[in-house]
């Protein structure tokens, strides 16, 4: 089954404790992206990757890091999480038709 | 001004009626336009895309694009309770790699 898999789906953590949200897709897609979704602000892009070893900032990259060492994986790293990073995070991928995204199920992160 | 704007709703429509959703965008260089549906607690899923001015129909859904006026709309005919969801408009700039989303319009279809 074609899918984008995110883990963990739910996480409660404390300020400053490094965490990684993994994202993996099995569709051989070149393009992958991370979004966060907040009430009243909609979906905002954090980072995206056009292919292996090619990443670029989205609209709200502060406080986040990403890497793309393999085509299928695109982890989102929060080096020192803060409460304003409490949000619902979505990973998405596509085969270069950038608007036609396949989304993962989402990861709800709470930073205390 | 937000790059992509939508009325947050809720837009309440009776079952069987037409739901009309609007989206405006600020960048005249935008080339591609997408409508996603998001059920509560779920991830967005693509339902329509449109690249050229005019109408595009897919089943009960019709997307309309007017680049001169910088708006794109989505019509849902014969609305069903299962259409109750938030509809997200998304815009891709020319030669762009970033998809920008509007805040979404919540639609409630009442039996």
Distance CA A69, CA A75 (A): 10
Residue of B91, B99, B106 to mutate, interface with A, max A Cβ within 10 Å = B99
- Structure tokens belonging to residue A17: 């404790």
Q: For A33-49, how does the pLDDT look when each residue is reduced to its tens digit (9 = 90+)?
A: 999 999 888 899 999 99
Is the CB of residue B71 less than 8 Å from the CB of residue B50? no
Q: For B25-78, how does the pLDDT look when each residue is reduced to its tens digit (9 = 90+)?
A: 999 989 899 999 999 999 999 999 999 999 999 999 999 999 999 999 999 999
A45–B100 C-beta distance less than 8 A: yes
Distance CA B6, CA B29 (A): 19
Three-state DSSP class for residue A16: coil
Q: For A45-87, how does the pLDDT look when each residue is reduced to its tens digit (9 = 90+)?
A: 999 998 999 999 999 999 999 999 999 999 999 999 999 999 9
Q: Is A50 on the interface with B (CB under 8 A)?
A: yes
A98–B97 C-beta distance less than 8 A: yes
Closest partner residue to A42 among B33, B49, B101, by Cβ? B101
Question: If 0-12 CB within 10 Å is exposed, 13-18 middle and 19+ buried, where does residue B96 land?
Answer: middle
Dihedral angle of Cα A57, A20, A75, A86, to the nearest 10 degrees: -50
| Cα dihedral across residues B26, A61, A27, A11: positive or negative | negative
Q: How confident is the model at residue A41, as a pLDDT?
A: 84
Q: Is A79 on the interface with B (CB under 8 A)?
A: no
Q: How confident is the model at residue A93, as a pLDDT?
A: 94
Q: Helix (H) and strand (E) counts for chain A?
A: 0, 11
- Structure tokens belonging to residue B83: 């259409």
């Amino acid at each position: 089954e074609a899918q984008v898999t995110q883990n963990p789906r739910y996480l409660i953590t404390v300020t400053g404790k490094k965490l990684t949200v993994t994202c993996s897709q099995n569709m051989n897609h070149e393009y992958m992206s991370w979004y966060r979704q907040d009430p009243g602000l909609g979906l905002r892009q954090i980072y995206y990757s056009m292919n292996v070893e090619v990443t670029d900032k989205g609209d709200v990259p502060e406080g986040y890091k990403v890497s793309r060492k393999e085509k299928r994986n695109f982890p989102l790293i929060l080096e020192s999480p803060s409460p304003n990073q409490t949000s619902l995070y979505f990973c998405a991928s596509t085969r270069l038709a950038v608007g036609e995204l396949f989304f993962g199920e989402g990861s709800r992160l709470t930073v205390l | 001004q937000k790059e992509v704007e939508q009325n947050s709703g809720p837009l309440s429509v009776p079952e069987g009626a037409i739901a009309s959703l609007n989206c405006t965008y600020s960048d005249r260089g935008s080339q591609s336009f997408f409508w996603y549906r998001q059920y509560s607690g779920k991830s967005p899923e693509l339902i329509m895309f449109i690249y050229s001015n005019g109408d595009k129909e897919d089943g009960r859904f019709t997307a309309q694009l007017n680049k001169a006026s910088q708006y794109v709309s989505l019509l849902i005919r014969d609305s069903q309770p299962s259409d109750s969801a938030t509809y997200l408009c998304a815009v891709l700039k020319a030669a762009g790699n970033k998809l920008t989303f509007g805040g979404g319009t919540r639609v409630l279809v009442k039996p």
